[in-house]
């Protein structure tokens, strides 16, 4: 497990700068594995902020509840956190910030293995839904998809291995990995509460700052960014908390 690092502050989509064909002496910025989101494209996306700085991602599932990763909220004081919604650019000042009244960590969360890595966040006041602020539907408890199904990740996390944080929201498509590889034999510590997604090249991935953010399939929240082997490690997927496995706990706890 020493080669596996946990992502305590969330994953970010991997950006590389390369020289494009036909351009001499100039560096052409080209995002590998990610694009900048347009306004309102991901209306459920949340930036969880700690002491005024982006800390983790999250997904709005009701007007008062956010889903995120347990490792994002473990040991944190709700009074020092805010949830910012309704923006694709944290530097633009057009998002809405909400206080947090309660952090509910899954009772079986294991910070060593990251099993049951999920938290629910209750907001101090309800969000006014509409326009650039919408909830996302949760995947069903029995939701399952074939290997190589395309999923979408989004976040305000790091855009390179130097952990540079942008203010702008990025997104990318990743492939779900089947259990023929995504299993405890190949990935020690993997459990039934985890799913794998990524790209064999390693150039499509989450990174620090994206933790707790959404992995969606068919417009539903299928996974929560949890942990990985680094930002864009070749031949290695990122691990996501499987929403279907914890669907009954979410329903019981948040009535969603």
Active site residue 79: no
Active site residue 142: no
Given the residues 59, 117, 119, 210, select the one marked as catalytic: 117
Given the residues 47, 119, 205, 211, select the one marked as catalytic: 211
Structure tokens at 31: 């995002």
Active site residue 124: no
Given the residues 54, 71, 106, 199, select the one marked as catalytic: 71
Catalytic residues: 71, 117, 211
């Amino acid at each position: 497990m020493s080669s596996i690092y946990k992502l305590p502050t969330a994953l970010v989509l991997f950006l590389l700068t390369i020289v494009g064909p036909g351009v001499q002496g100039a560096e052409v910025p080209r995002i590998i594995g990610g694009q900048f989101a347009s306004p309102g494209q991901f209306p459920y996306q949340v930036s969880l902020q700690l002491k005024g700085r982006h800390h983790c991602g999250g997904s709005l599932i009701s007007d008062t509840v956010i889903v995120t990763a347990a490792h994002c909220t473990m040991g944190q004081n709700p009074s020092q956190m805010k949830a910012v919604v309704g923006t694709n650019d944290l530097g633009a000042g057009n998002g809405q910030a909400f206080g947090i009244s309660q952090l509910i960590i899954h009772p079986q969360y294991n910070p060593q293995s990251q099993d049951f890595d999920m938290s629910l966040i209750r907001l101090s006041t309800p969000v006014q839904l509409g326009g650039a602020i919408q909830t996302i539907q949760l995947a069903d408890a029995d939701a399952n998809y074939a290997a190589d199904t395309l999923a979408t990740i989004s976040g305000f996390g790091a855009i390179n291995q130097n952990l540079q944080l942008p203010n702008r929201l990025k997104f990318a498509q990743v492939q779900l990995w089947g259990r023929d590889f995504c299993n405890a034999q190949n990935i020690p510590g993997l459990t039934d509460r985890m799913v794998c997604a990524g790209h064999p090249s390693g150039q499509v991935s989450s990174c620090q700052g994206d933790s707790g953010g959404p992995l969606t399939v068919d417009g539903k929240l299928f996974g929560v960014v949890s942990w990985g082997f680094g930002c864009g490690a070749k031949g290695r997927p990122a691990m996501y908390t499987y929403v279907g496995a914890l669907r009954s706990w979410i329903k019981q706890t948040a009535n969603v």
